[in-house]
């Protein structure tokens, strides 16, 4: 089975939005390529005394609406094409959420599972020093992503601050609360996703109490999404990770499964549950399916087997364009990634604002502002979807791409 690359999917989605919006071909050419792609060789001394050389990248897509914003991931399969696609999606995501940012993404091709804490710290600091002149609170603000966390962000902030000569907490988001991080950041993506699912359920007249939920991926986003949906009264009947999944018709307790995963390394073999594959999880009979793992999970080959009424994308690009069409034709409500998982970048924006003004908001303030922002974005997309008689992804792309295109046209080209 041939898998589409993330970049080919992103380019196909952009082309669709450009055609729907009838944009100038020149604007399409601008948006197809990032403004800047930085490739660096990150050299560090390993614990055993040898020299390690790792490929690092930072792709800055477009910044007409504000400084670049996007995560940094550490992964052995990282490619510049994938990072470029993710940077492009971040541009649309920020525009849909009406945040004053452009999209970026970055990372280092490495296997963090095989590296010590000291090696990861040296790797992070070296990487930041190599792209330092292109970073900053009004230029490009990194955040955590796959296999990076608040500790990584603390190292980035400290390295940037040391090079500037004074503390600059607003140079990065996703930091520990003790050094300027925002309340609610850890659960932000999952909470935003839950707000989207809740609003979609209202349209479908689906009662969230006892609604059944399946979650693919049990990392930060997947686990917290399962926990939040459970707290809203939903019954989480299936979850999975890279090793496989579990199914229980009576529902699971998300925290108990997480404890089992921490102890054994996987959700598989949890008591009173049947083991299933990731493919079977996607085909589980449920009301709400949350793909929160990898790209290209729902394809033209399995879309007709998806039984969920609502698909809320926690991962980036889990559904291919052909699958989008198939799901829409059979009446599935798909909430696209660039809307459903925008809670993370929204609370990152809140953290940046708090840092710039040297304020600290309460968890209640953060969550209320997040709910308002996400709910408005959901209805902006929903309204356009009804007007265009299109699926929600097409409407979301039209909204995001349209806002960025309008900004480029308004600013003009200089010189």
For residue 51, count CB atoms less than 10 angstroms from its CB and return exposed for 0-12, middle for 13-18, buried for 19 or more.
Answer: exposed
Coil/strand/helix, residue 53: strand
Distances from the Cα of 407 to the Cα of 18, 66, 80, 92, angstroms: 15, 10, 26, 12
Q: How many CA atoms lie within 13 A of 41 on its CB side?
A: 4
Task: List the Cα angle 116/117/121 in 5-degree steps.
Answer: 120
| Cα–Cα nearest to 257, from 287, 301, 207, 223 | 223
Residues 6+ apart with CB under 8 A from 294: 217, 315, 318
Q: Encoding tokens for residue 300?
A: 């033209």
Indicate which residue of 105, 175, 261, 373 is catalytic: 105
235 as an active site residue: the answer is: no
C-alpha of 175 from chain center = 17
CA–CA dist 303, 323 (Å, integer):
5
For 254-271, the DSSP string reads HHHHHHHHHHHSSSTT-T
CB atoms within 10 A of CB 414: 4
CA–CA dist 399, 407 (Å, integer):
12
CA–CA dist 260, 376 (Å, integer):
37
Give the catalytic positions in this structure: 105
């Amino acid at each position: 089975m041939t898998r589409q690359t993330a970049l080919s999917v992103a380019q196909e989605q952009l082309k669709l939005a450009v055609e729907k919006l009838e944009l100038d071909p020149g604007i399409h050419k601008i948006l197809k390529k990032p403004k800047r792609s930085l490739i660096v060789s990150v050299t560090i001394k390993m614990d055993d005394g040898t020299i390690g050389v790792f490929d690092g990248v930072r792709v800055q897509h477009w910044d007409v609406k504000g400084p670049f914003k996007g995560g940094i991931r550490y992964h052995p399969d990282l490619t510049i094409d994938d990072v470029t696609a993710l940077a492009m999606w971040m541009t649309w995501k920020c525009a849909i959420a009406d945040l004053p940012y452009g999209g970026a993404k970055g990372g280092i091709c490495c296997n963090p599972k095989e590296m010590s804490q000291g090696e990861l710290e040296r790797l992070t600091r070296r990487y930041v020093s190599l792209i330092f002149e292109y970073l900053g609170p009004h230029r490009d603000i990194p955040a955590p992503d796959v296999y990076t966390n608040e500790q990584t962000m603390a190292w980035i902030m400290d390295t940037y601050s040391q090079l500037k000569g004074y503390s600059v907490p607003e140079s990065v988001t996703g930091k520990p609360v003790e050094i300027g991080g925002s309340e609610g950041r850890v659960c932000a993506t999952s909470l935003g996703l839950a707000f989207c699912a809740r609003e979609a359920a209202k349209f479908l007249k689906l009662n969230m109490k006892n609604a059944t939920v399946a979650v693919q991926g049990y990392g930060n986003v997947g686990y917290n999404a399962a926990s939040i949906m459970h707290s809203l009264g939903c019954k989480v009947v299936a979850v999975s990770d890279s090793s496989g999944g579990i199914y229980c018709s009576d529902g699971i307790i998300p925290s108990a499964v997480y404890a089992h995963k921490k102890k054994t390394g996987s959700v598989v073999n949890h008591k009173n549950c049947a083991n299933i594959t990731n493919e079977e999880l996607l085909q589980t009979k449920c009301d709400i399916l949350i793909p929160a793992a990898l790209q290209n999970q729902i394809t033209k080959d399995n879309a007709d087997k998806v039984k969920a009424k609502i698909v809320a994308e926690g991962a980036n690009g889990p559904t291919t364009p052909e699958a989008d069409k198939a799901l829409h034709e059979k009446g599935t409500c798909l909430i696209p990634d660039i809307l459903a998982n925008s809670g993370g970048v929204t609370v990152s924006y809140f953290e940046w604002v708090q840092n710039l003004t040297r304020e600290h908001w309460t968890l209640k303030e953060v969550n209320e502002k997040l709910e308002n922002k996400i709910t408005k974005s959901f209805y902006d997309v929903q309204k356009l979807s009804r007007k265009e008689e299109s699926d929600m992804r097409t409407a979301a792309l039209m909204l995001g791409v349209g806002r960025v295109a309008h900004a480029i046209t308004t600013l003009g080209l200089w010189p």
